[in-house]
Amino acid sequence: MQPIEFKYPEQPEQQISEHILQNNTPAACTSIELDLRKLKDVWGKDVYGYSGVGGRDRKEERIEILKNEIASGSTYMPIIFLTDMAPEGLSFEDGRHRTAVLIEAGYETAMFVVPSHQAEQIKKFFGP
């Protein structure tokens, strides 16, 4: 399996800010490596948000585009956060289909953008 360059998305704070605010300002973000199997174990139970095989959110045309992107060796980091401080609070701001493609291609880990103040908790739940 070829290595992938994970690109940091532009202004993830602006994308995630509607959901996670600290003192009424957008949350600072950071990137962390996560275990895709651990993530799938929780995410796969999300009836509406799961984009893997059998998921209601799956869009095959999006999957095909991202398969080609990932095969090129470069893709953007998905953006995730917790709606509460439990694994089941996992939520995607961006990158559900990208994550599904990585899992289905057999990658074990991937880089994700997360709110900085949640990074340690997310690593605890989903870290390698």
Report the pLDDT value the prediction gives residue 15, as an integer from 0 to 100: 66
Identify whether the C-beta of residue 108 lies closer than 8 Å to the C-beta of residue 36.
yes
- The Cβ of residue 21 has, within 10 Å, a number of other Cβ atoms equal to 12
Place of tokens 């994308």: 15
| Tally of domains within the chain | 1
Please, what is the Cα angle at 113 between 88 and 68, to 5 degrees? Answer: 100
**Averaged pLDDT in 10-residue chunks for the chain of 128 residues:** 87 66 66 97 90 91 94 94 88 94 96 93 96
- Asked if residues 4 and 73 have their Cβ atoms less than 8 Å apart, the reply is yes
- Where in the sequence is the domain holding 14, given as residue range(s)? 5-126
**CATH number of the domain to which 83 belongs:** 3.90.1530
